Structure formats: C-alpha cells, structure tokens
Amino acid sequence: MAAPNISLTLYSHPECPFVHRVLTTLHELSLPYTTVFVDIDVPRTADYLAINPRGTVPALKFSSPDYHSGHETVVNESLVIVYFLGNLFPNHLLPAAAAGVAAAVARTRIFFFVDTWENKITPLFDKVYKASFGDEKEAKDAEDMVVGAIKKEIEPLLKKEDGDGQGMFLGGREKFTMAEIVVAPVIIRVFAFSDGGLLPRSFKTNLLALPNFGKWAQAMVKNESLLKGWDEVSFVDGSKAKLQQFKDGSFKPKFCR
C-alpha cells in the first residue's frame, strides 16, 4: 500500500539517539520529510516551546488533508513518534493490528521487547555515558552492569521460536521491526564509543560475544536506513569535545527523548 498523503516536519538535533530513531523510521518507510534544527545547547525558544512544551527533541509536526482538514498536529517523544509512523499504513515494522492472531502475537512480542528495553536497559545508559567522562574503573563498572542486564533481560527475547523465519531480526524477520528501530541508534553509539576509546574496548567485544544479541547487533548496525546521515568520526570527535567540557566544568546536559 502506498504511503498516506501527509506532510512531515521533524524538529531534531544530530547528536540525539532518540532523533536517530525517528530518522531511521522515516528512511525505512521511505517517507518524505523536512528537518528543522533545534539547538539543545541553549535554552529553547518560545516558538519551539509552543511546539513542544517539554523542550525536548525530537518533535514531529504533521498535516494531512485526511485529518482535521489538514490542520497541523504535533507528536512528541521519540517512541510515540515511531509508533505513530509505524501505524500510518501497513508496513514491515509492525504487523497490521487487524491481521489475525499471528499478527497480534507478533505485535505483542515486539511491544514486550520494546518495553523491556526501555524500562530495564535504557535507564542504564545514562550511567554509561557519565562513566565515559570518569575513570577507567567507572567505565568498566558501567560496562559490566549493561552487559549483565542485556544478557539477563534481552538475550532470551532474541532466541528463535517455532515458526520464526531465518532472518537476523526479531522473530526471524529479514527487515527491521520496531524493536530494531528503538535499539539500533543506541548500539551504534555504544560501539562508536568503544571503538573510539571513550568506553572500554571490551564493551563492544563482550556485547558481541552474547550468542543472540551479538549476531542481532552486528546485523542492526549495517542497516542502510540507520547509517544514512550517520557520521561516526564526527560523533566521536564531538563526544571527545564534550569530555573536555565535562572536565573543565562547562558541560551542559542534553534534552532529547
């Protein structure tokens, strides 16, 4: 089915992994959009706060002649935006809601995976990124904590079940599901931090050593939609600059979600 007649404007900042979720979704679904840069290093403007009172990025403004006579509507928070885009029309990210029992089971499996990642794993990455500004022991402790949590909570969910396909993504699929959309931007950054020496190099090695997660992660970070516009060198260099800001006391927290 063709994509709906809809106009999309993404308010974003290139450093934000949550923005990257939305960008990956837009690319994966081949949806046209325009981008408005939001400087998250300075207080938000009144104009942007009118769009998103929380002041975070991303935000997505959309309009369609098929909805409210084309009046503009805003969706905030990356996970909500991703679900919105995934439900616009039938696609490979989410099985159609009315497609029968098997589709309902598949959707539930994806939702449970995303819920587990968001509630059990995502909060730990704040400690990972803070540890990258600290000493070697802090970084190693953060690594052990995250690898252990992924082994306990995520590794079992990636085990193939009866009826799964032979693909590398959740449920044996050949293409990204919503699960990969949510996780991939975080993993590609962790790998970049590890390769760039901002986290222990063992971090990436130990994640890839997990039997299910390792193969899944390797497949994810090769996805063309994820890599479109991704500049690892600039990301690592920018992160090193933030490290120096942290050390001299001028580091400012970001606001993306």
- CATH number for the domain spanning 13: value is 3.40.30.10
pLDDT in tens, 18-73: 999 999 999 999 999 999 999 988 889 999 999 999 999 999 999 999 888 888 99
Residue 199: its pLDDT value, please?
Answer: 85
Residue 198: its pLDDT value, please?
Answer: 85
92 within some domain? no
Q: With a cut of 80, say whether residue 84 has pLDDT above it.
A: yes
In this prediction, residues 124-153 reach a mean pLDDT of 86
Residue 41: its pLDDT value, please?
Answer: 81
The domain of 200 spans: 101-247
Task: Give me the sheet containing 59-63, strands edge to edge.
Answer: 34-37, 7-12, 59-63, 73-76
Residue burial 145-184, b: 16+ Cβ < 10 Å; e: rest = ebbeebbeebbebbeeeeeeeeebbbbebeebbbbbbbbb
Residue 249: its pLDDT value, please?
Answer: 59
Residue 140: its pLDDT value, please?
Answer: 86
Q: With a cut of 90, say whether residue 251 has pLDDT above it.
A: no
In terms of domains, do 106 and 76 share one? no
In terms of domains, do 130 and 169 share one? yes
Residue 51: its pLDDT value, please?
Answer: 94
- Could you tell me the two tokens for 109? 């499996």
In this prediction, residues 180-189 reach a mean pLDDT of 97
What gap in Å lies between CA 183 and CA 178, rounded to an integer? 9
In terms of domains, do 157 and 232 share one? yes
Confidence of residue 253 (pLDDT cuts 50, 70, 90): low
In this prediction, residues 176-188 reach a mean pLDDT of 97
Residue 247: its pLDDT value, please?
Answer: 62
In terms of domains, do 237 and 190 share one? yes
Q: With a cut of 60, say whether residue 191 has pLDDT above it.
A: yes
In terms of domains, do 65 and 160 share one? no
Q: Residues for the chain: how many in total?
A: 257
Burial-class residue 227 by CB neighbours within 10 Å (0-12, 13-18, 19+).
middle
Q: With a cut of 80, say whether residue 89 has pLDDT above it.
A: yes
Domain end marker among 56, 86, 116: 86
| % of the chain surpassing 70 pLDDT | 94
In this prediction, residues 3-12 reach a mean pLDDT of 90
164 within some domain? yes
In terms of domains, do 160 and 237 share one? yes
Query: Which one-letter amino acid corresponds to residue 147?
Result: V
Residue 4: its pLDDT value, please?
Answer: 77
In terms of domains, do 110 and 178 share one? yes
User: How many structural domains does the chain have?
Assistant: 2
In terms of domains, do 74 and 140 share one? no
In terms of domains, do 61 and 167 share one? no
In terms of domains, do 61 and 127 share one? no
Residue 135: its pLDDT value, please?
Answer: 76
Rounded to 10°, the helix 178-195/122-131 angle is: 10
